[in-house]
Chains A and B, each alone.
Chain A
Amino acid sequence: MSRSQALSSFIESAPPGELSDVTKAIKNILGEESVLSELEPAFQKHNEEQLSLVKLPGSNEDVIISPYNSLGDGRYYDTENQSSFAYDHASLGGTASDVQSYVVESNHEDLVKGLLKTLRSHGTEHYPKYHIGVYPTSDDLQIALLTVSSKYSPANYWNGRWRSSYLYSPATSTLTGTIAVDVHYYEDGNVRLLTNKNVNTKVSGSGAADVVKAIALAEKAYQENLNKAFGGLAEGAFKSLRRQLPITRQKIEWEKISGYRLGQDIGGGRR
């Protein structure tokens, strides 16, 4: 793997809320302060994929960075503020500047407005801390609906992020997208949960409420399945790897271990 591929893979694998720690470690391993500009393409990919947030100058509201609101050349737009801004990926933690008025032109202007409102009320009901974005695609055939919810608790050695990204096609009433969960726990270890679920569903109706209802159903079903999967792994794969106690339900008598005969006294065939 080349140097730039290796560095990009580190940035791509950075857990939620730990990009600056990862970058600091990379700088120190290389002994180079100047590596930041080299990492810029990887930062851009990471920021857009992870739906990173940035505060616009003079505002307290965070807005999302994503492939769907990118205008190219490091500029992005925000539908609600009706503005565009420059984003510096190479400066760690990312800063926005050069805010200009920007009104997105779309045949679905009213639907976008409606979706912003209903997706926000859905978010308020299910995400303690979240940000949303709604953007018509550049060909104006689809509308992207994004939700990102992150919670960082580095003092307790864990961080997590939930991301939902959907594309809604008004002409065909279809909703496609992905839900992804990323959880990192790192107290005396390093444990990572990474999930990815494709969503592909038909929306009955054409109003904003119908689209968000389909999203709500898909997300609820997914979270219930995810909770079941934890139980399934604990009872299934985990148990079959290692028993809590031997089949005798007793700890080993180590002084008598040479008296144990494999396959006979202790049950269970050899594999």
Chain B
Amino acid sequence: MAEPIDSALDLLRRLNPKDVKQNVDNIINLNPSLEEELLESVDIPLSVKRCSSTKRDFLCCDYNRDGDSWRSPWSNNFEPPIDEGITPSERIRKMEIKANEAFDVYRELYFEGGISSVYLWDMDDGFAGCVLLKKCTSETAVNGGSWDSIHVFDAQDRARTAHYKLTSTVILSLGTESEALGGLDLSGNMVRQVEQDMAVEDDGSHVANIGKMVEDMELKMRNLLQEVYFGKAKDVVGDLRSIPPLSVTNRDRQTQREMISSMSR
């Protein structure tokens, strides 16, 4: 029999992705021993906090959390404040500041709004981190949606290169409602992984390398989401019901087959 954690992940892959947070909470209530592993391995839409010293919004996830406080990438302070919260080493924090500046530009260029946050932490043979991006279109609009990117990576230092491992999740939620259409909700998430070796001269190279990997990955995932959300979903509806009468479609196909076979004779 499968491990309970595998069954929990299988269940979350099937239930409505829009309710993922509620479903995770429910599974934890039913089997509290799964809590730690579920919170680590399931991506939920990112929540937003305001950094009180810089007055800038930042994104929260398990990686900038210490107890019930979250570290701001802008000030390195925890919100709400705590004593001796875990912060990165000086070298890693320097890189983190650079990465946050770079992804703030990235965010503006691709999302034209929204919020970005990058968190880095020290590892024995290098460092690891996550790049978070979130954008919601106006919730009062008839056509609304939200995009959450969660890119988690680690970088292993080697001679003049580094080996990067990136796991990316995009949570995309779209909804629309009108008299003619009724209600429509199209929500979900997709996950992809990639590994790559890239040249490293100094810590600035790391920021550029991670930037390139995330940019390539988001381009790939955006195309994939477009294909699944608007291509695949529409095709399945067409498989369930045909607008043109099937007798006409079948007759056309028959005629086509006869033409092809008469030509090949």
- Enumerate chain A interface residues (CB-CB to B < 8 A): 1, 3, 6-7, 9-10, 13-15, 18, 21-22, 24-26, 28-31, 124-128, 149-151, 158, 160-162, 179, 181, 183-186, 188-198, 219-227, 229-234, 236-238, 240-248, 251-252, 254-255, 257-258, 260, 262-263, 266, 268, 270-271
Contact = CB atoms under 8 A, between A and B. Distances in A.
Contacts of A222: 181-182
18 contacts: A10-B26, A18-B14, A25-B10, A29-B30, A128-B246, A185-B188, A190-B12, A191-B190, A196-B183, A229-B176, A233-B174, A234-B226, A236-B143, A237-B176, A238-B172, A241-B135, A248-B109, A257-B211
Given A1-B26, A223-B243, A230 B233 contact: yes
A1 B29 CA distance: 9
A227 B230 CA distance: 9
Contact of B246 (A126, A219, A226): A126
Q: What's the dominant secondary structure at chain A's contact region?
A: mixed
Nearest to A195: B184
Given A197-B181, A237-B137, A241-B137, A3 B29 contact: yes
Given A190-B13, A190-B189, 17 more contacts: A15-B14, A126-B243, A128-B239, A179-B182, A183-B236, A185-B233, A186-B14, A192-B16, A194-B184, A226-B181, A230-B230, A231-B230, A232-B176, A243-B111, A257-B101, A262-B104, A270-B108
A158 to B, nearest CB: 6
B29 A234 contact: no
Nearest to A191: B188
Contacts of B31: 29-31
A26 B7 CA distance: 7
Given A194-B16, A219-B241, A268-B112, A242 B181 contact: no
B11 interface: yes
A244 B109 CA distance: 10
B7 A128 contact: no
A238 B174 contact: yes
Contacts of A195: 181-185
Task: Pick the most buried of A7, A198, A240, A260: most chain B CB atoms within 10 A of its CB.
Answer: A240
A242 B106 CA distance: 11
Interface string B51-79: 00000000000000000000000000000
Interface string B222-234: 1101101110111
Contacts of A234: 226, 229-230
B223 to A, nearest CB: 8
A128 B232 CA distance: 18
Task: Pick the most buried of B4, B101, B222, B233: most chain A CB atoms within 10 A of its CB.
Answer: B233
B14 A149 contact: no
A184 B233 CA distance: 8
B208 to A, nearest CB: 4
B242 A127 contact: yes
Contact of B143 (A125, A223, A226, A237): A237
B241 A257 contact: no
Contacts of A14: 14-15
A25 B2 CA distance: 9
B259 interface: no
Task: Pick the most buried of B17, B25, B191, B219: most chain A CB atoms within 10 A of its CB.
Answer: B17
A188 B191 contact: yes
A161 B145 CA distance: 24
A254 B243 contact: no
B105 interface: yes
Contacts of A193: 184-186, 233, 236-237
B39 interface: no
B8 interface: yes
Nearest to A221: B180
Task: Pick the most buried of B13, B207, B230: most chain A CB atoms within 10 A of its CB.
Answer: B13
